[in-house]
Structure 1
């Protein structure tokens, strides 16, 4: 499995356009680009990122948007708000396609009671989003997020069953534990449609740490992923206050790499 880094790990201290060169300087050849503001959804900004990608011979595996600003409203009952959110979504998909990203890491709806939503309405919107991302050669990858509906395994199961076209998944380890579940429970639901993996750690005091700094049993999780045939990419995604220096990010990458190859 190839190990990469998310530019979200530098927020808010490094501008997105400078993150690719920084990740490459730390020895990461691929990663996830987190777009932090509306202006970063524009094509001109995407071209700037593309220039940095080519200059640094860097692979953009996935794109992650400032999702709370528009993704929940893709499912709003007010049509005009929904359509405005969709304009942003299309812009992010276009950036993802421009950069050759495989995946769009998607949060979606905020947490609510699954049995109370209009399921046909929601799944019809998902089909539209999947098609729109697919037009750019990008897979829509639903992430399990504790404050979103996607923390609900029943929802994820039905989402996988009811979408007309395939929905894919980003598995986030810390988000699984924050939801009161294990990553293995989400793997059982996502199955071989896992396309992206967020790597982080935790202990009783901290819900997000660098891999290797907590109590997560990575061997168990990685073996479970191997059983479903996942051998793609693992992206280290932490917060900037989870490390003291950039060297620790490289050490976390080596830690995961050594487990994968032990």
Structure 2
């Protein structure tokens, strides 16, 4: 059964613990947590965040690394040793997910891919290694479609799914598809039954990111497509701070999404 959640990124650049507390005060209980700097995945900090979640009966479903913008350099460059070292570094995110009770770590992948030095096959193999490492921690590394990244292309996502089969997972983000000039439904179709997580938002002509219910997205069609792929995950509201004025608007968006679940 799908549930409605929210990303702490909606309040960025408010500090993570303050974002989390604010969203809890709005009666959200399901979260994606953006870790924004090194100190936020130290054991003491993570335990404090988990204790707050437990006190409210809240669940943290997913973790988003602050190194997303550097993953092309860290994980998908021609320099093999840096990839191996970065696997060790990403274990910290898996440990963080375990501490917070999260089961998903979100991956952006390779930016500026037009000048990439590695092939698609190498990308898929690198991802598969990271995915397998995550599985050892009970964590699913899920590739998100992201504007200006290799994953913005439905064709790439379709080939990735075909190449890796059951050893890949995807996060679909509607706004990222629109920003990349792609049809979100084509992105959804390309990911298919390997979708494990959804960043939900709205859009309209001239506005690529709005709160759910403020734009023109056919959410019923989107819901039916997800159900057709036997989607078992949740719907996480994720927008930018500039996309709303009052915190009450987040609660209104939750009501819109709740109608889908």
Output the TM-score relative to the length of structure 2: 0.91
Q: Is the 8 A contact 1:46 1:99 kept in 2?
A: yes
Question: What is the CA–CA distance in structure 2 between the aligned matches of 1:25 and 1:132, rounded to whole Å?
Answer: 36
Partner of 1:16: 16
- What pairs with 1:98-177 in structure 2 (closer than 5 Å)? 98-113=99-114, 117-163=118-164, 166-177=167-178
- Quick one: structure 1 residues 115 and 147, their matched pair in 2 at CA, closer, same or farther if it must change by over 3 Å? closer
Shift of 1:80: 4.3
**8 Å contact kept, 1:41–1:88:** no
Does structure 1 retain, via aligned residues, the 8 Å contact 2:60–2:100? yes
Distance 2:138 2:115 in 1: 30
CA distance in structure 2 between the partners assigned to 1:70 and 1:52 by the alignment: 30
Deviation at 1:81, TM superposition (A): 3.4
Displacement of 1:48: 2.2
How far is 1:251 from its partner?
Answer: 0.4
Cα distance in 2 between the residues matched to 1:185 and 1:257? 24
Cα distance in structure 1, aligned partners of 2:79 and 2:255: 48
SS for the counterpart of 1:163 is: helix
Pairwise CA distance, 1:96: 0.9
The number of equivalent residue pairs is 259
The list of structure 1 runs, each at least 4 consecutive aligned residues, that deviate by more than 6 angstroms after superposition, is none
Pairwise CA distance, 1:39: 2.1
Cα distance, 1:233 vs structure 2: 0.5
* 1:80-95 paired onto structure 2 within 5 Å: 80-95=81-96
Report if the CA contact (8 A) 1:61-1:101 is conserved: yes
The alpha-carbon deviation at position 222 of structure 1 amounts to: 1.3
Give the TM-score of the pair, scaled to structure 1.
0.91
Is 1:77 the counterpart of 2:78? The answer is: yes
Structure 1 residue runs of 5 or longer lacking an equivalent are none
Do 2:166 and 2:194's aligned partners in 1 also have CA atoms closer than 8 Å? no
Distance 1:180 1:167, change over 3 A: same
Give the equivalent residue in structure 2 for 1:211: 212
Secondary structure at the residue paired with 2:203?
Answer: coil
C-alpha separation between the residues in 1 aligned to 2:246 and 2:85? 40
Structure 2 contact 69–108 (Cα < 8 Å) conserved: no
Structure 2 portions without partners, runs of 5+: none
State how far apart, in whole Å, the 2-side matches of 1:63 and 1:6 are. 9
Deviation of 1:32 after TM superposition, in Å, equals 0.3
Tell me if structure 2 keeps the 8 A contact 1:126–1:163. Answer: no
